[in-house]
Amino acid sequence: MNMSTIILAIAIILAVFGYFSKKRLGLPSLGLAAGALISQQWSSYVTVFLQQQGIQLIAPPLSNVVITVLIILPAVLLMSVSGKEHGKVTRLFEALVFGLLAASLLVTALGTNSDKILVSVEQYAKIITVVALVTALANILLTHRPRKKPH
């Protein structure tokens, strides 16, 4: 299984999980961005630490697994505290943006050159990332919790 297939599978799984979790995905989208920054700074240190602990992977390389986990983990953790989203169309849109952002960040971090879809995602990664993060910020700032009626 090549990296392109793994990246597509992860993006699709995240999008489907995001849709069926009925959660707002603005905060988890920002978690993906935070994870991308964390992976840029810490992936080499974590990889060396894991290798010193005796963990060895050949295919996929341990460094790719560490980068992927560091990108996805903050988003998954933030999904647990995110608010509920009830509209099906809104959930679908947010899930698509969330999956596309995940693919964009993973392709940027890991690189790919074999899949036509991911080559396109890599080509437009900066635009995809900016649009997805602006959408995530709008989701956080423009949605509000229902107010409780005073008794």
Total number of domains in the chain: 1
Which of 9-18, 19-28, 111-120 shows the lowest per-residue confidence on average (mean pLDDT)?
111-120
pTM score of the predicted model:
0.85
Coil, helix or strand for 60?
Answer: coil
Task: Please say if the pLDDT value at position 32 is more than 70.
Answer: yes
What span, in angstroms and rounded, lies between the C-alpha atoms of 22 and 87?
Answer: 9
Nearest to 32 by CA among 128, 115, 119, 145: 128
Answer yes or no: is 148 within a domain: no
Cis bond upstream, residue 61 (ω within 30): no
Q: What is the pLDDT of residue 1?
A: 62
Answer yes or no: is 149 within a domain: no
Answer yes or no: is 77 within a domain: yes
pLDDT digits (tens, 9 = 90+) for 34-90: 999 999 999 999 989 988 888 888 778 888 899 999 999 999 999 988 888 888 898
Answer yes or no: is 80 within a domain: yes
Q: What is the DSSP code (8-state) at residue 82? A: S
Domain that holds residue 108: 3-142
Q: What is the pLDDT of residue 34?
A: 95
* 40: region left, alpha or beta (phi > 0 left; psi from -120 to 50 alpha): alpha
Answer yes or no: is 15 within a domain: yes
Answer yes or no: is 61 within a domain: yes
Answer yes or no: is 150 within a domain: no
Q: Which residues contact 147 (CB under 8 A, 6 or more apart)?
A: none
Mean residue pLDDT across the chain: 87
Answer yes or no: is 83 within a domain: yes
